[in-house]
Chains A and B, each alone.
Chain A
């Protein structure tokens, strides 16, 4: 099996703070992996480095065997990796379908001008993530947190990336919304997407992943199947004193 994502000796320091401390892991194509750890463990920082939003201090990140080096974010997305954010980042004044349109656009000025938007594809994606047809023309500023997460997921999938990094997908959602997003993620797995999922909601995460990586202070403290990892002494200790 090919490796979708490979992280070798990754280090990121912010001044005196080591947010990623010699991290090593890889994800096989089509697998779904959970990334857990207490607040400030360095999960989001790993995502930002994979996307090139933060440049690593040292170490290597490869996508389908290609070293990402210092490539800009847009190029990494074209190579096949895309992410969502802990706090969604919609285009607030654009409508739901226009938000998805931006994700679907090719990175070519010429084609943006001469080819009109693909309304069928836009609407299909919106429905797939569970957005209602009545919301299509609404500006993103009027959406609930749950719908914003769905919209962001739709825009992320729209880029065509096959490796998705999902950051705190369940944060701020109602139980009903959690169920919706969960079944959406199951669909993505069935379609062969490679997933790396960060979540504080461990029971919701469990059914969505093949295995789990636990980190603390930028280091891996346990890895393996879900039950073993959450019952691991050091993992339990790291979560101690913190609501999970």
Chain B
């Protein structure tokens, strides 16, 4: 797997940093970090599928929504314990996503993106039409059981979840499966031509992505305590996820972490100046800058900077 001492050091420092953060920053900033943590989870979920295989999903809120709605409905409407509701929600996300999106994996490029986008919109319509007594229709749901109280508690909880997901995904992608998924993104037919079933691999990437999305969605709804369909099934939300991955650097795990943190705080500080749709200018601007100067994102900027420093110190 090519593990080195500095990998452990980096993850260790990251964990320590998270543990110490509540001592350093204000409660308000900590709340922003909680949102950042969930965005990291969604970004990793997106990266597992799209960052690796090149199948760009515009429908991730669809998966996150299945996880969130399932757990919210099970706990609030049926009185099921949250410890049971969340695992069920994750499984339902994987199955639901599989049934609906798998046919879409047969199509490539912009069509895949369009189909996933359509599913997100479809989900928005469905929660309003089908059993609004369960889903809460357009108004959504509130009074959903929360798992943590206060900013510090919520921060530790979401950090732990994010850390476990990040390090497991990172380990997973350092195995041969990571190489195979990257290869799909580079040349799908050559992967098939190496004797590997591309369908099986894409299905795996999809399941891993849905697993993380379902888990993140379910925990997120039990953090917020409410669910608003218009905010969830929103193109703005998809863009936030995708831009977070792209800023940080797709296909790296570290990238989505950096990107989600950066983007959350950027938007937080710019909030007074950006009441609404102006966000799109930020997204567009960032995407353009990245495209022109460093398509591989901040993480690549950091690593190439590091290499330059090392080369200098050698000389």
- The answer to the question of A62 belonging to the interface, with a C-beta cut-off of 8 Å to chain B, is no
Q: Are A107 and B192 in contact (CB under 8 A)?
A: no
Known A53-B189, A89-B190, A91-B186: A72·B179 in contact at CB below 8 Å: no
Interface string of B194-205 (1 = CB under 8 A from A): 111110110010
- The answer to the question of A243 belonging to the interface, with a C-beta cut-off of 8 Å to chain B, is no
Residues 32 to 84 of chain B near chain A (Cβ within 8 Å): none
Q: Are B176 and A112 in contact (CB under 8 A)?
A: yes
Give A51 Cβ to nearest chain B Cβ, in Å.
Answer: 7
Give A40 Cβ to nearest chain B Cβ, in Å.
Answer: 22
- The answer to the question of A115 belonging to the interface, with a C-beta cut-off of 8 Å to chain B, is yes
Residues 172 to 218 of chain B near chain A (Cβ within 8 Å): 172, 175-177, 179-180, 182-183, 186-187, 189-198, 200-201, 204
Give A148 Cβ to nearest chain B Cβ, in Å.
Answer: 12
* Cα distance A57–B172 in the bound complex, in angstroms: 42
Give B139 Cβ to nearest chain A Cβ, in Å.
Answer: 42
- The answer to the question of A113 belonging to the interface, with a C-beta cut-off of 8 Å to chain B, is yes
Residues 94 to 123 of chain A near chain B (Cβ within 8 Å): 94, 98, 101-103, 105, 107, 109, 112-117
Known A101-B176, A117-B176: A77·B195 in contact at CB below 8 Å: yes
Known A94-B183, A102-B183: A107·B193 in contact at CB below 8 Å: no
A51, A107, A155: the one within 8 Å of B197 (CB) = A107
Q: Are A78 and B186 in contact (CB under 8 A)?
A: no
Q: Are B196 and A107 in contact (CB under 8 A)?
A: yes
- The answer to the question of B314 belonging to the interface, with a C-beta cut-off of 8 Å to chain A, is no
Q: Are B183 and A116 in contact (CB under 8 A)?
A: no
Classify chain B's interface size: 20 to 34
Q: Are A72 and B197 in contact (CB under 8 A)?
A: yes
* Cα distance A72–B198 in the bound complex, in angstroms: 10
Q: Are B177 and A109 in contact (CB under 8 A)?
A: yes
Q: Are A73 and B192 in contact (CB under 8 A)?
A: yes
Q: Are A94 and B179 in contact (CB under 8 A)?
A: yes
Q: Are A105 and B194 in contact (CB under 8 A)?
A: yes
Contacts of A103 in B (CB 8 A): 194-195
- The answer to the question of B277 belonging to the interface, with a C-beta cut-off of 8 Å to chain A, is no
- The answer to the question of A82 belonging to the interface, with a C-beta cut-off of 8 Å to chain B, is yes
- The answer to the question of A83 belonging to the interface, with a C-beta cut-off of 8 Å to chain B, is yes
Q: Are B189 and A102 in contact (CB under 8 A)?
A: no
A73, A98, A161: the one within 8 Å of B179 (CB) = A98
Q: Are B186 and A93 in contact (CB under 8 A)?
A: yes
Give B23 Cβ to nearest chain A Cβ, in Å.
Answer: 38
Residues 129 to 173 of chain B near chain A (Cβ within 8 Å): 172
Contacts of A114 in B (CB 8 A): 175
- The answer to the question of B1 belonging to the interface, with a C-beta cut-off of 8 Å to chain A, is yes
Contacts of A75 in B (CB 8 A): 197
- The answer to the question of A179 belonging to the interface, with a C-beta cut-off of 8 Å to chain B, is no
For residue B186, which residue of chain A has the nearest CB?
A: A91
* Cα distance A119–B314 in the bound complex, in angstroms: 29
For residue B198, which residue of chain A has the nearest CB?
A: A74
B192, B196, B204: the one within 8 Å of A105 (CB) = B196
Q: Are B187 and A74 in contact (CB under 8 A)?
A: no
A51, A53, A98, A102: the one within 8 Å of B191 (CB) = A102
Contacts of A161 in B (CB 8 A): 195
Contacts of B177 in A (CB 8 A): 109, 112-113
- The answer to the question of A32 belonging to the interface, with a C-beta cut-off of 8 Å to chain B, is no
Known A91-B190, A92-B186: A101·B179 in contact at CB below 8 Å: yes
Q: Are B195 and A159 in contact (CB under 8 A)?
A: yes
Contacts of A94 in B (CB 8 A): 179, 182-183, 186
- The answer to the question of A90 belonging to the interface, with a C-beta cut-off of 8 Å to chain B, is yes
Give A138 Cβ to nearest chain B Cβ, in Å.
Answer: 15
Q: Are A74 and B190 in contact (CB under 8 A)?
A: no
* Cα distance A224–B96 in the bound complex, in angstroms: 59
For residue A160, which residue of chain B has the nearest CB?
A: B195
* Cα distance A219–B271 in the bound complex, in angstroms: 71
Known A90-B190, A91-B183: A78·B176 in contact at CB below 8 Å: no
Interface string of A65-84 (1 = CB under 8 A from B): 00000001111011000110
Known A74-B192, A109-B177, A116-B176: A89·B198 in contact at CB below 8 Å: no
For residue B182, which residue of chain A has the nearest CB?
A: A94
Contacts of A101 in B (CB 8 A): 176, 179
Contacts of B201 in A (CB 8 A): 109
Contacts of A117 in B (CB 8 A): 176, 179
Show the binding face of A for B, using Cβ within 8 Å: 51, 53, 72-75, 77-78, 82-83, 89-94, 98, 101-103, 105, 107, 109, 112-117, 155, 158-161
Q: List 6 A-B contacts (CB under 8 A).
A: A53-B189, A77-B194, A101-B179, A102-B180, A102-B183, A105-B196
Contacts A91-B187, A117-B176, A159-B195 known; 7 new A-B pairs at CB < 8 A: A77-B193, A94-B182, A102-B179, A102-B180, A105-B196, A113-B177, A155-B194
